[in-house]
Every structure is written in C-alpha cells, then in structure tokens.
Structure 1
Amino acid sequence: MKKFFAILSARNKEFFRDKSALSWNFAFPVLLIFGFAFMFSDEGSKLYKIGIYQQSINEIKQATRPPSELAFKNLKHISFVDYENLEKAILKVDQHKIDLLVDFEHKKYWVNQTSSKGYIVEQLLLAQLPDMTRQETDGRAVRYVDWVMPGILGMNMMFSCLFGVGYVIVRYRKNGVLKRFQATPLTAFEFLTAQVISRLLIVLLVTTLLFVGCNLFINFYVLGSYFNLLIIAMLGSTSMIAMSLLIASRSSSEELTGGLLNFASWPMMLLSGVWFSLEGAHPVVQKIAQIFPLTHILEAARAVMTDGAGLMEIKDNLLVLLVMTIIFLFLGSKLFNWGSERT
C-alpha cells in the first residue's frame, strides 16, 4: 500500500503542479455552459417555414402589398424566407426544407403533397388568399439521417485527425524520439508533411468505407458528385491534421495538449452544425462558426449532397480550407520543437 500511495501522491502532485492543465480543467466546463446558454437563449422558435418568391426582393416593399397578403405574413409562429431563384426555392419544397413556397405576384404557391406541415400552412394561406393557384411537388424528402450523416462523418474525421496526430507528436517529444530525428537530415516540414499524408490516407480510407457501407442500407440522398465529396474530405482532413500539428508543435505535456485539442474539437462539434442547423442561432454564433474548418467541410458537403452543388458553387469553402491548411502547416513547421522539455 505504501507503494500505491506513493505513486498516487506523485501523480496528484504532477497534475496540480501543471498550472496550465489545471486551469483548463476548470475553464473548459464553464465555457461550455455559458456557450450553450448563449446559443439557445431564444425560445421563440417558429413552427413552420414558408418561402416567398420575388424576382427582385429589394424592389418590392411590404407597404405596397394587399392587406390580405400582409395579414398572412403577420401570422405568428411562421418563419418567412425570401428567394430570388425559383428553381432552388422549389427544390427546397421538394426536400421538405420549407413547408410552402408562395409567389404573391403571380398568385401561385407550391406545396409538397407528402408534407404534413405543408398541408397545414396551405390551409392557412387559402383562408387568407383563396384565389391562389396550387402547384404540387412530390420530391423525395431529405431525411434527418441524410442531413446529419455529413456531420457524423465530419466529427469522426475531426477526432481522428486531431487526437490521432497531436498525441503521437507529444509522445514522440516526451520520449525523446524527436530528438533522435533531429540528428538526421530530416527537416521539420518534411516530418510534418509525412504525418499529414499518413493520417490523411487513413482518414480517407475509414471515411470512405463508413460512407459506402452505410449507404448500402440507408441509401443516402446525394444529388451532387461523389468526386466533389472526395475533394471536400481530402481538403477538410488535411486542414484539421495541420491544425493538430500546430497545437502539438511545442508542448511536451499530454494533459495540456489534451486540453488544447478539446478546446479545438468541442467548439467545432457544437458550433459547426454537426447535429443541428445554425440558421436559427444568434448571428454572433454563426460568425464564430466560420473560423472552424469543420463548418466549411459540412457546408460544402451538404451543398453537394442536398443541392447538387458543383465545385464552383462551393469554391469559397474549399478556398478557406486550403488557406487554413497552408497557414497551419507554415506556423507548425516554424514553431515545431524537436527536443523534450525534460532534462
């Protein structure tokens, strides 16, 4: 028992003397609690979502609309979204992303005949505007599993990239392996690049097998190109691997590195739209989410899958991921420390 208590005491002292890791264990839960409180502070969520098609949104003023139309648009618990592209708006109805699409100018509306919410809002519309002409759609609904699947695979990629690389680098440094590498002609950039390629191949293989295997049973909703999805996965994985290398570029403390990796991964998992859409979140939250690679991975993947977007339509997301990768790799190679902090 003396040996047991000696080791127990030594490990406790080691933890409490690591001020950075100790502080993080207190700070991280507090940040999560306040983050959730801020994100979900708005309880006035809408029950239905209706699209309004207008060829030029800026030219049509609410004051010029008939009283019946204004009365309909003033109904409570309904969210109204303006669209200028009719084809994209109808696709939203097909996929059950909006419950109804209305064109007040031409007195027409589109409703998905398989949508239960669409039936309700259609009755509300006809009660105010009985002269509207009905247009039916019957497109396949985008199920929640179709929407959340990129988030789950993206989250799995994130944890594999961050923790599968960061801890390895720290362990190499702590055990003196990196000091041995330093004695060779190997440069920091070459070493980090090899780590990126190695983990990238593993992540792509695992993600592809998961997607193909699940798709055989679930039949995911995919309108766009599988090749585009592969490009998104490659760029996204590379950016998160490079982020992990930057985080682990100098530290020899596994506790501190674990805290930093959690600091990067948990906000991404909560704010990047893995489980739920950020459309109704606070605008500040939506802006903060744009600094995370996972946000751009999921935005691009869902645009390809549910909207059939091409590379040019998601070029902004791809460019952000590319820039992040270059910045992370450059800083990681500059800050990289070969040696161990132990003497």
Structure 2
Amino acid sequence: MLAVFRARNTEFFRDRSTFTWNLLFPFLLLLGFYYIFGQAQPMYKVGVLSEQDGYISRPVFMATKHIQFIPYGDLERGLAPLARHQIDLLIDIDRAQYWVNEESRKGYMAEQILAVRDPDFNRTVIRGSAIRYVDWVLPGIIGMNIMFSALFGVGYAIVRYRKNGVLKRLNATPLTALEFIGGQLMSRIVMVVIVGLVLLLGARFLLSTLMLGSLALLVLTMFMGALALVSLGLLVAARLRSEEFTGGLLNMTTWPMMGLSEVWFSLEGAPHLVHQISQLMPLTHLVQALRAIMVDGAGFVAISDHLAVLALMSAIFLAIGSMTFSWAADGR
C-alpha cells in the first residue's frame, strides 16, 4: 500500500499540467467570484425611470443604504425584470409613480421602505401572472444539466478512450474521424435532449411550472444548445490524454458558465464587463432562449439571435476540434 501511495504521488507531481491546474484553478475561481460578488451586496434592487438625476430630485429615498438603483431607458424594459423578480421595485422619478410585483417578498419590503422615506409616490401593481422563482430557475437547471451531460459525456469519455488505447485501435478500422466524432455527438445530443424533456415534463406535472411557448421550438433550442456544448467538449478533449487535467479544464469551463449564465440568479445590475463575458458563453444563450420560450412565450423570431450565436459557436468549436483531433495518446 505504501508503494502504491508513493507511486501515485510521484505520478501526480510529474504530471505538471495536472499539478499546476490543481493549484491554480481554486485561486482563479476565488478571484473571479471576488470580483463579481466581493463587494457588499445590496439587499434590494430598484429600477429607476427618470430623465433627470434622481439623487437631486428625490435625495431621501435615493440615498437609502443597501439598495442598488438600476436605470432603465423605458417602462417596458423595467417591467419585464420586475415581473421575473430580477428587481424588487420600479420607480418613475419624474411622475412620482412606482410598480410592484405583489408576489415578491423583497418587493413588499422595498415598497415599505419607499412609503416611509418618500410617501409621495403612487402605487401600481403590475398585471399578468406572477412568475415564481421555480418558473424562472427551471430553464437554468435544464441548461445546466445539458451543459454537464454534454461536456463530461463527450470530453471526458474521449480522453479516457484515448488514454486506454481504444481510439488507437479504432483508427486501425475503416472508421473515419468524422464518423467517430459524428456518432459521439449525435448520441450525446439525443440523450441530453431526452433528459431535458423528462425534467421539463416532470416539473410541469409536480410543480405546475410555466410553459407558455412552443414545445417544438423548445426542443430545437435544446438541440442547438446541446450541439454547441458537445462541440465545446470535443474541442477541450481533441488532443488531451490526462483525465485529471481534462477534468480541471472542464471544471474551468462549467463553473464560470454556472455563475455568469443566469442559471440560479439574475445578473441585473452587475458590471458591464460581466455582461460582456456572459455573452461569450454558450450556456447564456441557451438559458436565455429557454427562459424566453417557457416564461414569456417567445416565438422563433424573438430567440433567433440566440440560435444564430449557438450555431456559430458550434461551427467554430467543431471546425477547430476536428482539425486538432488526435487518435493516439502521443498526439498523433
């Protein structure tokens, strides 16, 4: 046992990529979340409509501590996040009017603070069905499940095949790289779409979650998102032979997407740079498209930009992954 213990430690330290990654990744993760969430987070988020400086015209309420004020250009853009519980209150400085979602507990508390600090505002309740958190978060959970199944189901499996010599033996058969990659991709895509539908139907049956859009469009969106994420998994695993290092790279890929793709929480009010980075992630476009279909009843035109980005990402990842793909563990 001691000999095995020593051998495994020696193997770990000699694998410089894995050793370095195990030391580096936690620090990268810590620094990233410090930048995004390191400052004191506000207790409430209030959207503001105003053509003038609200800190001058309404200094009492606007000076309230622990409230983040988020400017919006027009009423429609402000009502949408209010309905989804992404903000807690929406106020119009110029017209002394505010909107509240009565289903929001934080909205209720923000309204009480406004009533005490500045009682001149007139109250308006937003119309339409209230959106529960479970309705808002379900598309994120479906997208997250697709991401993990796609990346680890393809990337990790291919590296294991390469390390065990399976790919090298397959290379001696009439099977081409395109046929092998195509079979792997299609198998995983079909499976993750089926699992996503099971999750959707199960949540619909147990929790009566919202599904306002087209089921066919939802399946198409799942397919496009799975294709982009599976292609990303192929890109990561195109030449790697270390399972430990592959796991580290896949974690580096999945964790930022979980934090920045609005899976669990909204990025409303986050720094502009965070939003820009988020738009570079395939999971962001998948989750936003799924949420638009399920929660808003959006049609094809409304989510076409997300589908186009996913298609473009898939093409880029597939092209690079196919060109750099290696059958053998020695990189040939």
Matches within 5 A, 1:143-182: 143-182=132-171
Cα deviation, 1:64-98, whole Å, max 9, x if unaligned, reads x9975566555554444455554564455444444
Matching residue's letter, 2:279: Q
Query: Is 1:273 aligned to 2:270, yes or no?
Result: no
% identical aligned pairs: 47
Q: Is the 8 A contact 2:48 2:93 kept in 1?
A: no
Partner of 1:318: 307
Partner of 1:28: 25
Partner of 2:278: 289
Matches within 5 A, 1:106-255: 109-115=98-104, 117-118=106-107, 124=114, 128=118, 130=120, 134-137=123-126, 139-255=128-244
With over 3 angstroms needed to count, the CA separation of the structure-2 counterparts of 1:247 and 1:142, relative to structure 1, is same
Partner of 2:11: 14
Alpha-carbon shift at residue 160 of structure 1 (Å):
1.1
TM-score, normalising length: structure 1: 0.83
Alpha-carbon shift at residue 190 of structure 1 (Å):
2.1
In structure 2, distance between residues paired with 1:10 and 1:66: 66
Cα deviation, 1:191-238, whole Å, max 9, x if unaligned, reads 111111010111111111122112211111333333332222111111
In structure 2, distance between residues paired with 1:168 and 1:90: 45
In structure 2, distance between residues paired with 1:285 and 1:296: 15
Alpha-carbon shift at residue 135 of structure 1 (Å):
3.8
Q: Is the 8 A contact 2:55 2:62 kept in 1?
A: no
The DSSP-based 3-state class of the residue aligned with 1:304 is helix
The DSSP-based 3-state class of the residue aligned with 2:47 is strand
Matches within 5 A, 1:252-267: 252-267=241-256
Give the one of 277, 292, 296 matched to 1:307: 296
Matching residue's letter, 2:3: A
Partner of 2:326: 337
With over 3 angstroms needed to count, the CA separation of the structure-2 counterparts of 1:315 and 1:169, relative to structure 1, is same
With over 3 angstroms needed to count, the CA separation of the structure-2 counterparts of 1:173 and 1:107, relative to structure 1, is closer
Give the one of 285, 298, 315 matched to 2:287: 298
With over 3 angstroms needed to count, the CA separation of the structure-2 counterparts of 1:110 and 1:282, relative to structure 1, is closer
In structure 2, distance between residues paired with 1:113 and 1:182: 62
With over 3 angstroms needed to count, the CA separation of the structure-2 counterparts of 1:179 and 1:116, relative to structure 1, is closer
In structure 2, distance between residues paired with 1:248 and 1:27: 20
Moved more, 97-106 or 260-269: 97-106
Matching residue's letter, 1:194: G
Matching residue's letter, 2:208: N
Q: Is the 8 A contact 1:95 1:139 kept in 2?
A: no
Matching residue's letter, 1:191: F
Alpha-carbon shift at residue 31 of structure 1 (Å):
1.0
With over 3 angstroms needed to count, the CA separation of the structure-2 counterparts of 1:30 and 1:89, relative to structure 1, is closer
The DSSP-based 3-state class of the residue aligned with 1:312 is helix
Alpha-carbon shift at residue 41 of structure 1 (Å):
2.2
Alpha-carbon shift at residue 146 of structure 1 (Å):
1.8
With over 3 angstroms needed to count, the CA separation of the structure-2 counterparts of 1:21 and 1:115, relative to structure 1, is closer
Matching residue's letter, 1:322: A
The DSSP-based 3-state class of the residue aligned with 1:314 is helix
